[in-house]
Amino acid sequence: MQKLISYLFIGVTMLSFSCKKGDADKEQNGQEVATSSDSLQLREPLPSDEAHLKNIRQLTFGGNNAEAYFSFDNTRLILQSDYQKWGVKCDQIFNMDILQAMTDTIMPPMVSTGFGRTTCSFFLPDGKQILYASTHLVDSNCPPVPEYVQGGPYLWPIYSSYDIFIADVNGTIKKQLTNEPGYDAEATVSPKGDKIVFTSDRSGDLELYTMDMDGSNVIQITDELGYDGGAFFSPDGSKLVFRASRPKTKEEVKMYKDYLSRGLVAPTNMEIFICNTDGSDLRQVTNLGKANWAPYYHPAGKKIIFASNHEAERGFAFQLYLINEDGTGLEKVTSESNFNAFPMFSYDGKKLVFSSNRNNGGTHDTNVFIADWKD
């Protein structure tokens, strides 16, 4: 399962819990926020006035822009975008200066090939190279999005044509890191600069793996049935935080395996887990129900920020939350708009970058925002 925001919007728009833009949003302080019809809660909502976020700046202004991650020197972002005014038909990878906002005519340099579909980019420690997953070796065209079946679940495609590549910041591919049959994507780099974690279905299930920076020494980290993905290292490089589904009943197991055999995942029931980088001491952090995903460690290494729709009656109302490693101290971080996800702290802990559909003029656009972080 790749972390592509465009699929999220397509899927949830079709489902019964989707937002209807005619009555779902209204303007408040110049930003899109959910009306009462879309903010019905299953429990008392956690208070949030976005007090952790100061000096919020919008960096993109159209299309679906997501998974924006800092360079190790905190000056640039690597992100994926499908903004057609930048000349792309589906997600490609772009390298952005955090001080320069993009427009229809001002676009960051594209560092992927422009062919196929890409996902999950990340800077290497030297700041001169990036890694990302791409389908371009199999087909130069964008792969098809799964057809929605009326009344069926929202599904993510698991393209078997994804492999992981290293390229320089000019877009020249330097190395192909994976070459196994099936899905290889969702790669991120340890702050120590020695390991890469990624998701693969090479075992027959979607599991986490680590490898050295040159693609060697591949080690399987997880082995429980269910999707394990979207992993990031802790600040000291000793742990992994990730999202996972854990089908339990015969019906859940059968459905999961059936979808996986067709290159699909239903991501509507996921929780946050942590483990050591060798897979030991695996622990479930959240037990909130619904979709809890896009986790990232707080710079102090004791808390985790993540996206969740657990408070929403409808599925498409994702906010950011903080939680302690032991599952206590849940705190709501965002409250503006009905979608906030893909958070990452800068390596110095001073800033947070995230994707949101706030201030999108009533469209389905998701843009990148950056803010000063206040503990």
pLDDT in tens, 155-179: 999 999 999 999 999 999 999 999 9
The residue count for the chain: 375
CA separation, residue 293 to residues 38, 241, 289, 318 (Å):
20, 10, 11, 10
Question: Taken in order 59, 63, 69, 75, is the CA torsion positive or negative?
Answer: negative
Domains for the chain: give ranges and CATH numbers. Answer: 5-373 (2.120.10.30)
State how far the Cα of 305 lies from the Cα of 324, in Å rounded to an integer.
9
**Hey, which residues does 190 pair with through a beta bridge?**
none
**Phi/psi of residue 215, nearest 5 degrees:** 90, 0
Q: Are residues 67 and 93 in contact, defined by beta-carbon separation less than 8 angstroms?
A: no
State how far the Cα of 33 lies from the Cα of 27, in Å rounded to an integer.
7
CA separation, residue 267 to residues 37, 128, 238, 338 (Å):
24, 34, 27, 18
pTM above 0.75, yes or no: yes
Which residue type is seen at 189? V
CA neighbor of 334 nearest in space, from 51, 68, 54, 19: 51
Residue by residue, pLDDT tens for the chain (375 residues) are 444 444 444 443 333 222 222 322 333 333 333 322 232 233 455 666 899 999 999 999 999 999 999 999 999 999 999 999 999 999 999 999 999 889 888 999 999 999 999 999 999 999 999 999 999 999 999 999 988 777 778 899 999 999 999 999 999 999 999 999 999 999 999 999 999 999 999 999 999 999 999 999 999 999 999 999 999 999 999 999 999 999 999 999 999 999 999 999 999 999 999 999 999 999 999 999 999 999 999 999 999 999 999 998 866 789 999 999 999 999 999 999 999 999 999 999 999 999 999 999 999 999 999 999 999
Torsion of CA 188, 194, 200, 203, to 10 degrees: -160
Phi-psi region of 87 (alpha: psi -120 to 50; beta: other; left: phi over 0): left
CA neighbor of 340 nearest in space, from 73, 53, 93: 53
Tokens, residue 127: 């700041």
pLDDT in tens, 62-105: 999 999 999 999 999 999 999 999 999 999 999 999 998 898 88
194 contacts: CB under 8 Å, gap ≥ 6: 212, 213, 237
State how far the Cα of 283 lies from the Cα of 244, in Å rounded to an integer.
11
The H or E element spanning position 10 is helix 5-14
